[in-house]
Amino acid sequence: MIKIDIEKLLFSKSFLELKYRTKSSQAIKKINEKYNSWNLDFLKVDENKDVKKILEFIKDKKDKFENIVVLGVWWSALWTRALMQTLKWKYYNELSRKKRWNNPKLYILDNVDPKEIDDLIQILDLKETLFIVISKSGWTIETMSIFTFFKEKIKKLNLKLEKHFVIIAWENSDFKKKSLEKWYNVFDIPEWIWWRFSAFTNVWLLPLAFIWIDIEQIVEWVKNIKKTLLSDNIFENPALLTAIIQYHTYFELNKNITVFFPYAWNLFFLWEWYKQMMWESLWKWWIWVTTTSAIWTTDQHSQLQLYYDWPNDKLITFLEVEDLWINYRIDKSQKISFKDLLDNSKYWTEESISSYNKINYTIKIDKINEKTIWELIIMLEVQTAILWEFYWFNAFDQPWVEIWKNITKEKLIEKFGEFKF
């Protein structure tokens, strides 16, 4: 369950409701129109037809491999890393097979850094490794080069490529067709969903299902929260309320830096995903929004100096988990626990920041599990779509990213000639 605590926001919910009543109604009306006309398709991903296919594939492959390696760049890898760290915690791969409930280890390679590639090779037995290759078109240079590299490694061991590679690709792409011709297992990426809004697609459903994350339940959970997220009532819709808070702070108060503070280490990469989504979605034309993130209490020892002092140009968003499930007392002779330290640190940081007129609010989730994390993710996606309507810009394109890709490809061809994967 998601709660939005705006006690320290420095302006009230009723003020926001009154000031933005018309704008909110117009925005939500357009959101609903786009949803009903299939122009907001990331909200329809609960209709994924591949869940049973994924589970059958997992059942067949899970016991045959010790390692699953995701080969993908940026969003294709960031999703899996964020959800793995959030739901399976920090040291999942260090657990014994028994403690992993007989599930394989999961690694993510999203870079062409040769040292990182070598580090992974040192710990993998390739005979016991399945690679998940994620690329929309098969022309992502980083992903395809790593794919080619490991294909050569598998061939040298006289192993069958189709048994050690599975492909996730655009449903109508040549990459998918060529992969099927080579008898690879292939799962689709819907072409109508923008990459950074592909949370509930096969991009991360497949790798996460390997580590025993319940993907079947997402259909019901997403269906249950969609009605709330499509409502124009800011007292009920957390996506709308937080979008209004952001818009008011950026547009009316000229505070164009957003700081995210998760009060749990394993939520850090989830916040990294959100930060990247905002970068690509909101940094357009004259909307100069910069996002940053920190881990508390670690970064209280350094970054607080920046946030307390001037200029007062930041919106601070805390993310708090009310029940961390596990808690340890520091000493048997004392009552204080580590959760007490964490909660008090957050409380007094929030209090002191507020006393210096720093605008902040808290997103609270009751606990960390599939349900709350799914709801949080889709809430943040809808929040971004609402900001699109507030600002009248396209949150789903990425013109400068595409320019960089094209320039890189041209220069590589110019220097090394045509290359094929």
Query: What is the SS3 assignment for 68?
Result: strand
Instruction: Identify the pLDDT of residue 333.
Output: 76
Query: DSSP character for 249?
Result: I
Contact by Cβ (8 Å): 282, 342: no
CA angle 348, 351, 353 (to 5 degrees): 105
Question: Tokens 């699109």 sit at which residue?
Answer: 388
Query: What is the SS3 assignment for 383?
Result: helix
Options 49, 301, 332, 335, the catalytic residue: 301
Provide the CB-side half-sphere exposure for 14 (13 A, CA). 0
Provide the CB-side half-sphere exposure for 56 (13 A, CA). 7
Q: 45-209: which CATH number, 3.40.50.12160, 1.10.490.10, 1.10.260.40, 3.40.50.10490? A: 3.40.50.10490
Query: What is the SS3 assignment for 203?
Result: helix
d(CA 418, CA 394): 34
Q: Is 301 part of the annotated catalytic residue set?
A: yes
Question: Tokens 């929004």 sit at which residue?
Answer: 289
Q: Which of 384-405 are b and which e, b meaning 16 or more Cβ less than 10 Å from the residue's Cβ?
A: bbbbbbbbebebbebeeeeeee
DSSP letter string over 152-191?
HHHHHTT--HHHHEEEEEETT-HHHHHHHHTT-EEEEE-T
Where exactly does CATH 3.40.50.10490 map onto the chain? 2-20+234-400, 45-209
Amino acid at the residue 325: W
pLDDT in tens, the chain (421 residues): 799 999 888 889 999 999 999 999 999 999 999 888 877 777 777 777 788 899 999 999 999 999 999 998 877 788 788 888 888 878 999 999 999 999 999 999 998 999 999 999 999 999 999 999 998 888 888 899 999 999 999 999 999 999 999 999 988 889 999 999 888 899 988 877 766 777 778 888 899 999 988 888 776 777 778 889 999 999 999 999 999 999 999 989 989 888 888 888 888 888 888 888 887 777 665 567 788 888 777 877 778 777 777 788 999 999 999 988 778 888 877 788 888 888 888 888 888 888 888 999 999 999 998 888 888 988 999 998 898 889 876 656 555 556 656 667 677 677 677 666 5
Q: Which CATH superfamily is domain 2-20+234-400 in?
A: Glucose-6-phosphate isomerase like protein; domain 1 (3.40.50.10490)
d(CA 99, CA 102): 7
d(CA 387, CA 353): 26
Contact by Cβ (8 Å): 409, 421: no
Contact by Cβ (8 Å): 54, 209: yes
d(CA 216, CA 205): 10
Is residue 45 classed exposed, middle or buried when 0-12, 13-18 and 19+ CB atoms within 10 A define those classes?
buried
Contact by Cβ (8 Å): 202, 50: yes
DSSP letter string over 73-101?
-THHHHHHHHHHHHHH-TTGGGS-TTTTT
Cα Rg for the chain, rounded, in angstroms? Answer: 23
Options 280, 350, 375, 389, the catalytic residue: 280
Phi-psi category of residue 120: left, alpha or beta, with phi > 0 → left and psi -120 to 50 → alpha? alpha
d(CA 387, CA 299): 29
Instruction: Identify the pLDDT of residue 404.
Output: 57
